Structure 1
Amino acid sequence: MSDEREKYNQDPRVICKYGEMCYQKNEEHHKKYKHPPPSKTVKKHNMHRFLPFNKVQKTLKGKSADSPKAETPNNLDKAPETSKSDEVSQDEKSSGTSNAASDTQDTVVSGAESNNDEDSSEEECNFSYYHKHTDPIILKELFLVEMPDDFFKFFECLKKEAKKESKPIENILDSVNLQLIGPFDFLMGKLPKMLCKDMYLTHWRFYYDPPEFQSVLKKKGTSQFHIGYFRDDPKEKPVFLAKNDSAKDCIITPISENIFGAVYWYLQHETIKSPFTKMASQKLINKVKSWAEQHKYTIEEYDMKKRQKQIACRTFHGAGIVVPYNKETQVGYRPLVEKDVKIKEMFKKLKDAKTQDEKDKVLAEIQPIITYASIAVDECDFGTGLEAGIALFCSGLKELQSNALKCLEVAYSLLKRDAFKKIIQVHLERRRKGVKLSIL
């Protein structure tokens, strides 16, 4: 037994359930969990947190060294650098002989390029994708929420338009800088079958997206502007589609009751903002309006006033939360002990704190808010726990992330919104900024 393996076996920390596949760099994670030393044979899905299965490339001797390298998905974060010897799978146990003695060798492709010194003549992929004609009910198994009828109707309209113009479906929105994401990747047959099902819950989940928000569209390129469905309960249909730009803040702004209205809103604003896409936007506006009329969907903007009567509070993201509330007994929700303005000031002080002592001082000020919310939950005011968890989540501060998770886990459990509980657990474990959020 190697020294590393012996040291690992004697380590008293909890074993990380992802083992060698874990990509976490968070210090708190590594303090709590132990990870096995890397094995000599490195599988492809160990070297990259997103790739579903190994891509095997057969390399024949005597070929030119200039043949194209194996293609792999290109919307990925770069995996940690590994030596070439680590990237090549020897797999001697299964073959019984050394690859060097064979005329054909199997190479595991890592990241975006192959490390073969010899050229490939044939590539064989042993991972598969969900077929675009797969029963859409699978979507609920993957994303834990059911997509509404307007989602599928809109995709059907794009499909017909793509066939009419002899273009791929995704190209229909290219001219207006809009990209189909999330569940749409399933309908387009682009979603890979993953070993780790949790990864679907992080597919295009932006930094400030709470579990209630499911992204379906984004502005192309490096923009973090995206549009998604917002629902109060995972078992219910979405209430509206909203927009958010995670590069700016956590604010979720309602747009329309359906995706036709949301895209119509986007195109109207695009004609004003961008002279480069003005003509294309105007052309598509007419089509979207026609599609909406054909399927009897309104393109009017969502009226937030009618939601005011339902929500317990607006919350930090502005979209509000809806929880069971008994007006007679006043059980179900009570306001947080501090006003939002005061809490935001505390968050800013924590963000600006330079030393650990300064941080500890601010954290001590925030703790009574969390404690009060916990007491409220114990007294059946579950909405207060949800509000506190959303506030801590929207702060975006890593110092408050564990508190946010605890508050939200308890609140979602008591509200019987288990799908949201699972989503927030996976999201916070893998939460990251930027636009490299796809598993493709």
Structure 2
Amino acid sequence: MMENMTPPNEDKPGKKRKTDDAQDEAPSATKGKFQKSIQNSFGFKNSSDVSSASNITDLLTRVSSVYRMEFPHDFSLLWRFCVQICPSCPKKALLDPLGVSLCGPYDILSGKEISEPFLHCRYYLDPPEVQTVLTASNSSEQLHYGYFRDDPNKMPAFVVSAKSSKDCVLRYAGDNLLEFIYKEINLKLSKVSTDSSVSNERNKLTNLKSKLEKFAATCDPVVQLNCKEKNFRDRKRKSQGTTFHKLGISVYVKNDIGYRPIHHDDATLRKMMQKVAQCESQSERVAAFGPLHEQITFVQFANDESDFGMGLELGLNFFLQGAECFHKAAGKLLPTAYKFLKRDLYAEIIEKHLAKREKDPTNILYLK
């Protein structure tokens, strides 16, 4: 099917990576061992050093060096808050009563080494723009939360939620992590009955809310916890298209150069892709792929005229459709678009992800 496609540029196959069967073990239940793990990773003397404001820059620098991206201030603030409420195991500090655990880059702060940071905690339908930092426990829908950033060279725009086993939609969750946690607490409180039988759960939520409010008030600058969706609205004004994940793309456009829309709406494009994915033979698939091949040709024309956003949008839709028969198309369109847009790190991430794409969330832990 794809053999007849004229590639936008030379295909770079993803490098095969060694899998890691290590499971996400909880840090030691003792404060002494936790302190030792932090000291080994960062040279800090104790957990109070980790939570102190003077070490925020150092923490961000060390994590950023592994992921080759800058992390926003709220990333380290959430870690400080979790250290305060559960010094023996900060990653699990929010598990009871919110049902979420810190993951991904937070594993580094827990004293662990990550063998493949770009694949670690990267779910099957996570595009390069998503970086998972929280995961829900016992979620049949593979619910997880992460930063969303259009450009790896810039800070995240906001936090999103995803349910990879259900769909590829990315849902706005908050402008920052503390705001998201606060919103989740209030949401759970609104659902908890005033009945005495659940008073313990309500007390836990109320206590956590009070601690978070006090913590946010002592931050410098003070963190606003009330969700106003400012970052989400700002980014929406600058976005183009829709994409299957519903957030569209955001590329620089000047004098109408930088983006041109795909020739079909999402519903039509989905039907075209579904027809290809359901084909039982290779010959049927090649025939059904014809209209999609035409769209790829249009992308090549768009690239010649510097409308790089079209290839990004179509490539993301191939990736988000999820079927393996579209991996080759996504693997040609996306690296090309990211490189044209000077988002080279995303090109590297998508190549690695397509080479080792896992549907089972137990296989996306890359810990040494």
| Structure 1 and Structure 2 fold alike (TM over 0.5) | yes
Alpha-carbon deviations, 1:274-303, whole Å to 9, x = none? 777554334323322332233222221525
Aligned counterpart in structure 1 of residue 240 of structure 2, from 299, 307, 312: 312
1:183 aligns with 2:105: yes
Following the alignment from structure 1 to structure 2, what is the Cα–Cα distance between the partners of residues 337 and 433? 31
3-state SS in 1 of match to 2:161: strand
Following the alignment from structure 1 to structure 2, what is the Cα–Cα distance between the partners of residues 270 and 344? 35
Residue 71 of structure 2 is matched in structure 1 by 147
Residue 321 of structure 2 is matched in structure 1 by 395
Q: Percent identity?
A: 29
Alpha-carbon deviations, 1:167-192, whole Å to 9, x = none? 42123212121111001011111225
CA contact (8 A) 1:243 1:254 kept: yes
Shift in alpha-carbon separation, 1:356–1:268, aligned structure 2, 3 A:
farther
Q: Which runs of 5+ in 1 are unaligned?
A: 1-15, 24-47, 52-72, 77-128
Counterparts of residues 77-116 of structure 1 (less than 5 Å): none
Residue 174 of structure 1 is matched in structure 2 by 95
RMSD (Å), alpha carbons = 2.6
Aligned counterpart in structure 1 of residue 168 of structure 2, from 244, 250, 263: 250
Higher relative contact order (CA 8 A, sep 6+): 2
Following the alignment from structure 1 to structure 2, what is the Cα–Cα distance between the partners of residues 174 and 204? 17
Which of the two has higher C-alpha Rg? 1
The alpha-carbon deviation at position 370 of structure 1 amounts to 1.4
Aligned counterpart in structure 1 of residue 129 of structure 2, from 205, 212, 228: 212
Q: Which has the higher helix share?
A: 2
Following the alignment from structure 2 to structure 1, what is the Cα–Cα distance between the partners of residues 297 and 14? 30
3-state SS in 1 of match to 2:144: strand
CA contact (8 A) 1:130 1:191 kept: no
Aligned counterpart in structure 1 of residue 83 of structure 2, from 156, 159, 183: 159
Count of residues in correspondence between the two structures = 316
3-state SS in 1 of match to 2:361: coil
Alpha-carbon deviations, 1:45-69, whole Å to 9, x = none? xxx6226xxxxxxxxxxxxxxxxxx
Aligned counterpart in structure 2 of residue 321 of structure 1, from 235, 246, 249: 249
1:361 aligns with 2:267: no
Residue 92 of structure 1 is matched in structure 2 by none
Following the alignment from structure 2 to structure 1, what is the Cα–Cα distance between the partners of residues 189 and 42? 32
Following the alignment from structure 1 to structure 2, what is the Cα–Cα distance between the partners of residues 254 and 212? 14
CA contact (8 A) 2:277 2:325 kept: no
The alpha-carbon deviation at position 272 of structure 1 amounts to 5.2
Output the amino acid matched with 1:233: D
Following the alignment from structure 1 to structure 2, what is the Cα–Cα distance between the partners of residues 278 and 343? 46
| Normalised TM-score (structure 1) | 0.66
Residue 438 of structure 1 is matched in structure 2 by 365
CA contact (8 A) 1:132 1:186 kept: no
| Normalised TM-score (structure 2) | 0.78
3-state SS in 1 of match to 2:243: coil
Alpha-carbon deviations, 1:413-434, whole Å to 9, x = none? 1111111111111111111113
Aligned counterpart in structure 2 of residue 331 of structure 1, from 249, 257, 265: 257
Following the alignment from structure 2 to structure 1, what is the Cα–Cα distance between the partners of residues 176 and 320? 25
Following the alignment from structure 1 to structure 2, what is the Cα–Cα distance between the partners of residues 256 and 395? 26
Following the alignment from structure 2 to structure 1, what is the Cα–Cα distance between the partners of residues 40 and 300? 42
1:264 aligns with 2:185: no
Residue 278 of structure 2 is matched in structure 1 by 352
Shift in alpha-carbon separation, 1:245–1:274, aligned structure 2, 3 A:
farther
Following the alignment from structure 1 to structure 2, what is the Cα–Cα distance between the partners of residues 424 and 17? 8
CA contact (8 A) 1:271 1:279 kept: no
3-state SS in 1 of match to 2:131: strand
Following the alignment from structure 1 to structure 2, what is the Cα–Cα distance between the partners of residues 133 and 150? 22
